[in-house]
Amino acid sequence: EAGVVQSPRYKIIEKKQPVAFWCNPISGHNTLYWYRQNLGQGPELLIRYENEEAVDDSQLPKDRFSAERLKGVDSTLKIQPAELGDSAVYLCASRWAPTSEQYFGPGTRLTVT
Amino acid sequence: GESVGLHLPTLSVQEGDNSIINCAYSNSASDYFIWYKQESGKGPQFIIDIRSNMDKRQGQRVTVLLNKTVKHLSLQIAATQPGDSAVYFCAEEGFQKLVFGTGTRLLVSP
């Protein structure tokens, strides 16, 4: 079974430019999470989806970040405009509702210059 | 606010030794705890979990101990192998939200 797929794996952009990340969760997993992980730190939740509904976006900086999961499967996370402090690894995870275990993708490493 | 922290940023052990990674948590209401392993360039990988109604749980070569009295969690790895070298995170879950600690880097030398 394929795991959580994320693309791109690496992205380098200049500040003020837009950037988007894509996530394909494990088939059948209705819960999807986006996390941000700064160097040497644990992941921090940005947003959680239950199917296509964002049920927890309290940590998402809504002035520049947006996310969508239109059909309750794939999801995209966008930053516009990017700032230097957005440099981090953006992780996607998914979970099958009856269980507690979250499965993480490999992440997208964003560098803003 | 809620926080999950780790005592040591780096732990160095010899191959074959037992490793113990410690974690303190502050939210006494948390009822589910997980240990994750993260290798370079990869996402966190589930190792073992424990619920608050237990104080010990064993897996293959790994054991998690939970001491609710002092809000302490530990991960024990038996017969540590070079492949165990990674960063280990403890995390607590409440309302389906994971709160991760900073991480401990485990270095295994031959």
Nearest Cα to Cα of residue A92 among A29, A12, A2, A4: A4
Residues β-bridged to residue B87: B38, B105
- pLDDT of A39 over the 50 cut: yes
Confidence of residue B30 (pLDDT cuts 50, 70, 90): confident
CA–CA gap between residue A8 and residue A16 (Å, rounded)? 19
Confidence of residue B9 (pLDDT cuts 50, 70, 90): confident
What integer is the mean pLDDT of B25-46? 91
Q: Which residues in chain A are closer than 8 Å to B43, comparing Cβ atoms? A: 4, 91, 93, 104-107
CA distance B70 to chain A (A): 22
Residues A4, B43: C-beta atoms closer than 8 Å: yes
**Identity of the residue in A41, A93, A106 whose CB atom sits nearest the CB atom of B42:** A106
- pLDDT of A72 over the 70 cut: yes
Q: Which residues in chain A are closer than 8 Å to B21, comparing Cβ atoms? A: none
Mutate to test the interface with A, among B32, B47, B89, B100 (most CBs of A within 10 A): B100
Please tell me which residue of chain A has the smallest CA distance to B94: A100
CA–CA gap between residue A12 and residue A18 (Å, rounded)? 11
**Identity of the residue in B32, B46, B100 whose CB atom sits nearest the CB atom of A42:** B100
What integer is the mean pLDDT of A81-87? 97
Residue B18 or residue B30, greater confidence = B18
Q: Which residues in chain B are closer than 8 Å to A36, comparing Cβ atoms? A: none
Of A82-86, B30-34, B53-57, where does mean pLDDT reach its minimum? B30-34
CA–CA gap between residue A7 and residue A109 (Å, rounded)? 10
Q: Are B18 and B78 in contact (CB under 8 A)?
A: yes
Q: How many CB pairs under 8 A join A and B?
A: 46
What integer is the mean pLDDT of A8-18? 98
Confidence of residue B16 (pLDDT cuts 50, 70, 90): very high
What integer is the mean pLDDT of A28-33? 94
Q: Which residues in chain A are closer than 8 Å to B2, comparing Cβ atoms? A: none
Write the DSSP string, B44-62: -EEEEEEETT-SEEE-SSE
